[in-house]
Amino acid sequence: GLHLVSAMAYGGTYYCNARFRTRAPFLYVHLGSTLVMASFSLFYLWSVVLFILTRPFVMPDEAMVYSVSVGTVVVYVVVVAHQLQKLREGLLGQLQGKESKGKVISFLKYLGLDVRTIICSVFGGALLVLMVALMILLAGEMYISSGPISTISTAFGTTCTAFTTMFAQLRHKQEAQEESVAGIPSFILDLV
């Protein structure tokens, strides 16, 4: 409540070109409430992490599901990052002596094979796999009776989702690279 009201008040005074002395209290209230809300969010996140970390010790039969889910995310990150780097290096090898460094870098950005895009793709994919794993865990807790079947189905669902996402992402990047390698001369002419 206070955060929203202070944001609206400060935004209104800023929009109306009020002097800084007039809008300063609204700014400080807004910054203070933002700091308090961020602190509460971090405390809540820490509580959730502690809950998740202690759960396998309290319920050891679920430790397999958590370890498989985390292992799947780690495998996803390692494999996708390696394959995208391999695509990037292969393309760099093809273009290295033929074009200038600036054109090569802009072409890699165009393809989405620059370092920043690779990191964002891997992080986004890992986050997707982790969210799907959490949804499967939640659905397994809610609808499937506890036992070996629910843990195996949850672990299997997480792994299948991760590998399906991984193969789709890599196939998409490979197809984009193959299509664009044929269009390198037109791309370079567009840059000039």
23 vs 5, 37, 41, CA distance in Å? 13, 21, 27
pLDDT digits (tens, 9 = 90+) for 77-110: 888 888 888 888 888 888 777 777 888 888 888 8
φ/ψ region of 18 (left if φ > 0, alpha if ψ in -120 to 50, else beta) reads beta
CA dihedral 13, 14, 17, 19 (to 10 degrees): 70
The arithmetic mean of pLDDT across residues 48-65, rounded, is 75
Name, in order, each residue with C-beta under 8 angstroms of 144's C-beta and a sequence gap of 6 or more: 150, 153
The arithmetic mean of pLDDT across residues 45-55, rounded, is 81
pLDDT value at residue 60: 72
Q: How far apart are CA 185 and CA 175, in angstroms?
A: 18
Name, in order, each residue with C-beta under 8 angstroms of 150's C-beta and a sequence gap of 6 or more: 140, 141, 144
- Give the pLDDT band of residue 43 (cuts 50, 70, 90): very high
- Give the pLDDT band of residue 182 (cuts 50, 70, 90): low
Residue 181 or 116, more confident: 116
Mean of pLDDT over the chain: 77
pTM of the model: 0.56
Q: The tokens 């990037």 sit on which residue?
A: 88
pLDDT value at residue 142: 64
Rg (CA), the chain: 24
pLDDT digits (tens, 9 = 90+) for 131-168: 877 777 776 666 655 555 566 666 677 777 777 877 88
